[in-house]
Structure 1
């Protein structure tokens, strides 16, 4: 039984995967996510790792895995590096929800 990205559906946010991979590699990952999670997310291509650097997830010439939140003005308000975000989906969703609540309180 695979995990399900539906846990993210009730978040009132636009979600994307930012990737420095080639389009062919992104397609492979997109398909793998569909197989493992029942769906995937849209990809934003970032071959120069500029968005990834903005999220402080650049590691030399590659990107660390993780997740983050941009506010409506495009400022990074939260980020975390976690190679296992998918395997720890319940923890990931909980952390994102808490950060979104903190944004709305402030």
Structure 2
């Protein structure tokens, strides 16, 4: 929810923001409607992209963030349960990765 509250902070970045997990599209839709998220949710049941983002846990994605370049290459990834609570720090790390 912290990302949604600070989504405007990322407007000047030449980047797209996604939430990705191995939850079903139906679960994502329900959550988006319930909370009012405005960014895109992606379902990755095979966890292929989640693994590429280095965000795979044992049976599910872990919390954190990853940054890919325009060619789909991973620039940085950080597992962090509190990335949303630390949104200002997270934003700075993302900006640095995109420089």
TM-score by length of 2: 0.84
Task: Provide structure 1 residue ranges, at least 5 long, that are not aligned to the other structure.
Answer: 102-106
The answer on 1:15 being equivalent to 2:17 is: yes
Cα deviation digits, residues 26-65 of structure 1 (max 9, x gap): 123323553xxxx431122201111001111111111001
Contact 1:33 1:40 (8 Å CA) reproduced: no
Counterparts in 2 of 1:95 and 1:15: CA distance versus 1, 3 Å: same
Contact 1:54 1:76 (8 Å CA) reproduced: yes
Moved over 3 A (4+): none
Cα distance in structure 2, aligned partners of 1:95 and 1:17: 17
The counterpart of 1:47, out of the listed 35, 45, 48, is 45
Cα distance in structure 1, aligned partners of 2:22 and 2:42: 9
How many residues are treated as equivalent by the alignment?
Answer: 96
Any idea what SS the aligned residue of 1:18 has? strand
Counterparts in 2 of 1:83 and 1:40: CA distance versus 1, 3 Å: farther
Any idea what SS the aligned residue of 1:68 has? strand
Task: Provide structure 2 residue ranges, at least 5 long, that are not aligned to the other structure.
Answer: none
The counterpart of 2:85, out of the listed 84, 87, 103, is 87
Any idea what SS the aligned residue of 2:8 has? helix
